[in-house]
Amino acid sequence: MRRAPRPGWRGGLALGALALTASIGLPYLLVQTLGLGLRREGRRHHYDLALTFDDGPDPLTTPAVLDALAAAGARATFFVLVTQAEAHPGLIARMQEEGHQIELHALKHVHPWLRSPWGALLDVPRGAARLAHVTGVRPRLHRPPHGAYRLATLIGQRWAGLEGAHWSVEARDWHPASTPQSVTARVLALAAPGAVIVMHDAGPGAVNTVPALPGLLAELSLRGYSFHTLGTLPGLAPLGRADLPRRLSRLTDQLFDRLGHIEPVAGRADNAFRVGVLSLPSGPIVLKSGQVMEKGAKVLDLHVRSDHMVDFGVKRGMRRAIAWDLPWLADEILRRPDWRAAEAIYTLGTLASLAAMFGFETRELPPAETRRLTRWGTLLRRAYGTARHAPSARLSIMGLDDFLARFAGKGKDQAEGGPAPGPAELGKPQAQESARRSR
């Protein structure tokens, strides 16, 4: 005869689930995923970024990382394992002498979810005290192993007087399928102003980071980036509730891009534009050049990264677009047969006045489409903190040949009367240096 379950067993399960949610689920969602309270990126209005390295120091790999940073004149932040720091104080001393920032990773490199609550809590204050004994300076930041959080981790940080530090770009140098080339390509695709990049100077990730780092630093320098420690990265502050609308709007853009097969120009997150390919939804449209655009004609669908324009400001954003982003887009069109086959480039939205300054012609939209896009533009402005009503949405369009004639090979150098690089060279140091001078 089967025994009846003890009274209250369902209540015990419910309490266990509630405790697990409070201990791991909520910290994972609010802190690890949304980043509330963590320092994970700086202001996005200058070409500044921070390189960070985890899991060291290791005498077999960390010196090569320090050599590459020194050759590039770059400073970085190292989140160190305390036992490694105690075993190799000479490497810690070199980091300090060369101007790098040293912060706490952990006493034990164990995923916080796999530790007892008490062990996860005590790891932080004990690790901070022992690291301070090695460096002579008490750490200010803590990045737990795997960037993972549980409630005990947060309590431990508060107890130790430390703030959590995360990242906005993960190099994935630790992944078994990664190579130095894939690590370089990933970072260059995802790097953006204000980014905090995480790599590894020890452990499995160092196998890829060490050979990748010199070339990566050189390319980021050519793009105009300045390298900072987390302590000097402008605008690095804990994310709060006021940042949520901005982050959610970025996630909405990413979802929209995925569904609409829209991609960043040249695969770069620091380009102001994204592009898709579609059929012209209305027509015919007669351009000033005499070109007739029939309904259904193949066009490039241009989207502006709203956060870039907000962060850089309209004037600086326009200078940046003319000096770098639009020439880069023209070069990408010339490289890609599927884009070059389009008849025109067009955009729908509330930035028609800005598009007109780039040479686009504007047309009215059907009333329902105008209302929908205008409401969306107003919502974005509020999410980014401008809190003004957007102007009425319009269609902006330019023939593709006219666009290429206007922007291909015509970066900042030509605008100032100097020689302009050819279209095939726009992805190389000339265009990158031109963009850097325009900051």
| The one catalytic residue among 45, 100, 200, 308 | 200
| 123 a catalytic residue | no
Single-letter amino acid code for the residue at 160? A
Question: 232, 231, 28: which is closest to 146 by C-alpha?
Answer: 28
| 307 a catalytic residue | no
SS3 9: helix
Residues 307, 206: Cα–Cα separation, whole Å: 33
Beta-bridge partners for 239 = 36
Question: Cβ neighbours of residue 392 under 8 Å, at least 6 residues apart?
Answer: 350, 370, 374
Strand boundaries in 21-109, DSSP class E: 48-54, 77-81, 101-106
Report the C-alpha dihedral over residues 333, 334, 337, 341, rounded to 10 degrees. Answer: 70
Question: 153, 163, 147: which is closest to 116 by C-alpha?
Answer: 153
Residues 400, 419: Cα–Cα separation, whole Å: 23
Residue 310 and residue 385 in contact, taking contact as beta carbons nearer than 8 Å: yes
| The one catalytic residue among 48, 54, 325, 413 | 54
Residues 241, 125: Cα–Cα separation, whole Å: 27
Residues with catalytic annotation?
54, 200
